[in-house]
A = this chain, B = another copy of it.
Amino acid sequence: MRIGELAARAGTTTRTLRYYEARGLLPARRSGNGYRSYDEADLRLLRQIRTLQDFGFDLEETRPFVECLRAGHPEGDSCPASLAVYRRKLDELDALIGELAAVRAKVGEQLARAESARERLAAEAEVPGGPEPECELGGAGL
C-alpha cells in the first residue's frame, strides 16, 4: 500500500509517516515509480508507535518497541529494552505526578490564604468601626 492509505488506516497523516521515516523509525521500501510502499507489518509497527505516543512516550522511546517487532517478536514489548522503557516511564510518571500533586497542594494553599484574606478585608470594609470578632478568627491586618 502507499503512504496515503497507510496514514489513513493508522489514523494519522502522510507528513507524520515521512517524519518517522526521516527519524529512521519507519523506513519504507520504494516501488518502481519512487512511491513509498508499505505492508501490513508496517501498519503494525505504526500502530505500536501511535499507541505509545498516545501514552505520552517520546518518539525515541518507541524505538525499542519497533525494533522488537521488526526482530520478529509477536509484541513490541516482548524484549528487555522495551520493558526497561516501560519501567523508566513508570518512574517518570510517578515523579511527575508527585511533583504536580505537590504544586497542586501549594496552589490550593495559596488560594485558600488569598480568599480568606479577601474575606477579612471585605468584612472590615463592611463594618469600618471594627469587625469585633466573637471567635478567634478576627485577625489584624498584615
B-contact bits for A10-21, CB 8 A (1 contact / 0 none): 000000000000
- Whether B103 contacts A100 by the Cβ 8 Å rule is no
Residues B107 and A93 in contact, CB atoms below 8 Å apart: yes
Q: How far is the CB of A80 from chain B (nearest CB, A)?
A: 8
Binds B, one of A25-33, A35-43, A70-78: A70-78
In the complex, whether A9 has a CB less than 8 A from a CB of chain B is no
Residue in B55, B90, B103 whose CB lies within 8 Å of A55 = B103
Q: Which residues of B contact A96 (CB under 8 A)?
A: 100
CB pair B111–A87 under 8 Å, yes or no, is yes
Using a Cβ–Cβ cut-off of 8 Å, how many residues does chain A contribute to the interface with B? 31
CB-contacts of A90-126 with B (<8 A): 90, 93-94, 96-97, 100-101, 103-104, 106-108, 110-111, 113-115, 117-118
A111 in contact with B97 (CB, 8 Å): no
Knowing A97-B97, A100-B100, say if A114 contacts B55 (CB, 8 Å): no
Cα distance A114–B87 in the bound complex, in angstroms: 12
